[in-house]
């Protein structure tokens, strides 16, 4: 009787089974585990900082508030960064247009090849 009872317990889909503990998961785009990230980048690799205008604020989780960073960005540097951003946006737009054109050309050549294969058959 005990053998049949064991087989019923093993086949029971509602029986509670122990699972292995999960590994800690990193949400970083880098393909490192959380231990590797802490080792490579240090304990402060997930600091949150915000720049508003020319001021920088850092979130201090231990104190539970924002700390104002006294280093400021000069307006000369800000204009240079804005100019660089605009240039990069223009380059990005050009590259997207080129990619669209290449995809259209590829679709056209593929369609012509399929028509040619159908006409041969």
- Each residue's pLDDT tens digit, 10-62: 666 676 777 777 666 656 566 666 666 666 665 555 677 777 777 778 877 77
Which pLDDT tens digit goes with each residue over 46-56? 677 777 777 77
C-alpha span between 119 and 9 (Å, rounded): 64
């Amino acid at each position: 009787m005990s053998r049949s009872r064991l087989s019923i317990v093993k086949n029971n889909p509602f029986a509670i089974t122990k699972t292995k503990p999960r590994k800690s998961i990193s949400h970083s785009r880098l393909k490192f585990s959380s231990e590797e990230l802490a080792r490579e980048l240090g304990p402060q690799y997930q600091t949150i900082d915000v720049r508003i205008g020319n001021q920088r604020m850092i979130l201090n989780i231990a104190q539970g508030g924002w700390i104002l960073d006294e280093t400021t960005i000069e307006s000369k540097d800000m204009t240079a960064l804005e100019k660089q951003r605009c240039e990069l946006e223009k380059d990005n737009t050009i590259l997207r247009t080129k990619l669209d054109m290449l995809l259209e050309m590829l679709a056209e050549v593929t369609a012509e090849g399929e028509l040619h294969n159908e006409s041969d058959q």
